[in-house]
Amino acid sequence: MIKICDSHCHLQDRKFSGDLERTINSAKDRGVSCIIVPGWDRQSSIGAIEVAKKYEGIYAAVGIHPHDAKTYNEDAKREISGYIKKEKVIAIGEIGLDYYRDLSPRDTQREVFKKQLAIAEENNLPVIIHTRNSINEAIEIVNEFNTRGVFHSFTKEAKVAKKIIALGFYIGIGGVVTFENSMLSREVKYIPLERILLETDAPYMTPHPHRGKRNEPAYTVHVLEKIAKIKSIPLEEVADITYQNTKKLFKF
């Protein structure tokens, strides 16, 4: 069986509280042998750690999402610095900038993004970056740090991906690539497979043919199939390369 890694999946989300074990087993049945669970605030970071501790092949990332940047303080910094010492915590994330919903002031988002990048740099950990209507500024900020990581849920042109790759970062491709007439389904052809990670962002961003339903890690296979089709590369090769990319970045 092929081995797939879902590099971004929120299994600690309450939408999975009723059938978490079934969800994980269903993913394994489809070849998803690795799942990375990022936090978005302190509580969800603890939840990610708990899920990773309980299940084989699942790893945690911890951090404060830009929506919650206004909650970041010295206590949050201290707690995150403690979380990263826990078993199976392999990254800082998800962190970044979100200028679409603006749930935290932009100045605060930038400041908190930089502070968490500094924690990652000091501890030699990769970062998982969220951007919305802010990718160019996020790239500029990342360039100030000696870090590595992934820009998750990428939806932009290949020329933007090349800027990210030039920083030594990876590109997270999720369900959007399966949407009919999506720009990404055209652009992903020009993004090197050696720099792509597969993801679902479950329970959100459900791929075709399950749109309208809750997303789950088993659906990573639809992202895999679409990329293989677009690039005219055997499915097994895409699975293997993206899996190895994920292992190389997160060092699990």
**Residue 12 belongs to a domain:** no
Check whether the bond before 209 is cis (ω within 30° of 0): yes
pLDDT at 1: 79
Q: Which domain holds residue 152?
A: 30-210+224-250
Report whether 212 contacts 173 (CB < 8 A): no
**Residue 117 belongs to a domain:** yes
For the chain, state the CA radius of gyration: 17
Phi-psi group of 16: left, alpha or beta (phi > 0 → left; psi -120 to 50 → alpha; rest → beta): alpha
Nearest to 66 by CA among 11, 119, 114, 4: 114
**Residue 141 belongs to a domain:** yes
**Residue 154 belongs to a domain:** yes
pLDDT digits (tens, 9 = 90+) for 102-145: 999 999 999 999 999 999 999 999 999 999 999 999 999 999 99
List Cα–Cα distances, 190 to 108, 116, 193, 196, in angstroms: 35, 31, 9, 11
Nearest to 149 by CA among 117, 180, 126, 167: 126
List Cα–Cα distances, 215 to 109, 242, 243, in angstroms: 28, 20, 20
Return d(Cα 249, Cα 252) in angstroms, integer.
9
Angle between helices 74-83 and 42-54 (to 10 degrees): 10
Structurally, the chain folds into a number of domains equal to: 1
Give pTM, 2 decimals: 0.97
Q: From first to last of its 252 residues, what are the pLDDT tens digits of the chain?
A: 799 999 999 999 999 999 999 999 999 999 999 999 999 999 999 999 999 999 999 999 999 999 999 999 999 999 999 999 999 999 999 999 999 999 999 999 999 999 999 999 999 999 999 999 999 999 999 999 999 999 999 999 999 999 999 999 999 999 999 998 899 999 999 999 999 999 999 999 999 999 999 999 999 999 999 999 999 999 999 999 999 999 999 999
Nearest to 10 by CA among 171, 217, 149: 217
**Residue 180 belongs to a domain:** yes
**Residue 184 belongs to a domain:** yes
Burial class of residue 200 (count of CB atoms within 10 Å of its CB; 0-12, 13-18, 19+): buried
**Residue 91 belongs to a domain:** yes
CATH number, domain of 100, equals 3.20.20.140
